[in-house]
A and B are shown apart, each in its own frame.
Chain A
Amino acid sequence: MSGGTSEYSIAADGSFTAPLELSYPYKRTVGPILSRFLTSLRDQRVEGTKGSDGRVHVPPAEFDPVTGEHLTEWVDVASTGTIVTWSWQPAPVEGNTLQHPFAWALISLDGADTNLLHAVDAGSADAIKTGMRVTARWAAEPSGSISDIVCFDLTSGSPT
């Protein structure tokens, strides 16, 4: 953890104010399931795990939501999908893959039965609708993280 105050000012009522930044430089191990998911992302492939009820989980579930058993069966899914729901992010913050306004969306990838939360570079909130088709935009320099998909782009000719 680190933090600090250096530039302070005194308000009209005599109160001190100062910027204060708290940061934690976390690094975490990902475990076998997310390891495979992220390693595949680095190769521009999306994989999910298949549950006992036949549902394909993307991002992958480590344990079967029904039985609690370890999941070991993998399924390739597409890097295209459909917007299930979305919320506009008018002011991106540090660490977002896009630094201009974008949509956070739950995306049902083709072949998956669960939704992936990711950014959609829609341009404006007027341009995005639930049900639209999207395609993953891959990072030029993959790093083995979820941001190897920079964001999703609206597929041209997408039904509205």
Chain B
Amino acid sequence: MSDDVLRIRTPISIKYQYSAGPRVSSHLLGLMDGRFVGKRCPVCELVYMPPRNGTCAKCGALLGEDVEVGQRGTITTFCVVNVPFLGQTIKIPYVSATILLDGADMGMQHLIQEVDAADVRMGMRVEPVWRPREEWQPSLENVLHFRPTGEPDAPFESYAGHL
């Protein structure tokens, strides 16, 4: 009985050729230069960072011009990860946060480090820590993580419309 087959491995792998499309490509090109480049909606002027390919979710207009947003931003919401999982590379507990970069209207997801997880809060001001330039790829992984800037917290009203 103990020698019976009780489980099987069924790995699944899917190989894609991913194409970023023209709008996300200008964003990726910016990342290779250490810049955060988003897109502005020509109608409602919302700034998408990271940008979408295609149209504004709010008014349906095709996203237009490139907009470089600030390096610094504000934590709008966050999650403390306490659960270990397969493939985890960061020591728990750690914080995954939605960061509203200065000048952007959409938050982006990134890792918060160099601060105790218990001290992370909504409104905390953060800045990116970039990898060494020679390691840069067209990827948000060029930013190792964000860390607190030490500035006073942003008032709730400043990001209340972006949650």
Question: Smallest distance from the beta carbon of B139 to chain A beta carbons, Å?
Answer: 7
Q: A25-B86, A94-B13 are in contact. List 9 more A-B contacts (CB 8 A).
A: A5-B137, A15-B19, A16-B25, A18-B20, A19-B18, A20-B18, A22-B14, A30-B8, A95-B13
Q: Is A124 an interface residue (CB 8 A)?
A: no
Q: Chain B interface (Cβ within 8 Å of chain A)?
A: 3-22, 24-26, 28-29, 86-87, 137-139
Given the contacts A16-B28, A17-B19, A19-B15, A6 and B86 also touching, CB distance less than 8 Å: no
CA distance A71 to B18 in the complex (A): 46
A contact residues around B29 at 8 Å (CB): 14, 16
Query: Across the interface, do B86 and A38 meet the contact criterion of CB distance under 8 Å?
Result: no
Question: Smallest distance from the beta carbon of A27 to chain B beta carbons, Å?
Answer: 5
Which chain A residues in 11-59 approach chain B with CB under 8 Å? 11, 13-30, 35-36, 38-39, 42
Query: Across the interface, do B18 and A17 meet the contact criterion of CB distance under 8 Å?
Result: yes
By beta carbon, the residue of chain A nearest B18 is: A20
Question: Main SS of the interface on chain A?
Answer: mixed
A contact residues around B3 at 8 Å (CB): 39
**Max chain B Cβ within 10 angstroms of own Cβ: one of A13, A16, A24, A27:** A16
Q: What size tier do the contact residues of chain A reach?
A: 20 to 34
Query: Across the interface, do B18 and A15 meet the contact criterion of CB distance under 8 Å?
Result: no
Query: Across the interface, do A16 and B19 meet the contact criterion of CB distance under 8 Å?
Result: yes
CA distance A5 to B14 in the complex (A): 13
Q: Is A2 an interface residue (CB 8 A)?
A: yes
By beta carbon, the residue of chain B nearest A22 is: B14
Query: Across the interface, do A35 and B4 meet the contact criterion of CB distance under 8 Å?
Result: yes
CA distance A2 to B87 in the complex (A): 7
Query: Across the interface, do A22 and B25 meet the contact criterion of CB distance under 8 Å?
Result: no
3 A-B pairs with the lowest CB-CB distances in the bound complex, closest first: A144-B5, A23-B13, A38-B5
Query: Across the interface, do B22 and A15 meet the contact criterion of CB distance under 8 Å?
Result: yes
CA distance A145 to B7 in the complex (A): 9
CA distance A35 to B139 in the complex (A): 45
Query: Across the interface, do B8 and A14 meet the contact criterion of CB distance under 8 Å?
Result: no
A contact residues around B19 at 8 Å (CB): 11, 15-17
Q: Is A1 an interface residue (CB 8 A)?
A: yes
B contact residues around A23 at 8 Å (CB): 11-14
Q: Which of B7, B11, B15, B22 contacts A14 (CB 8 A)?
A: B22
A contact residues around B10 at 8 Å (CB): 26-28
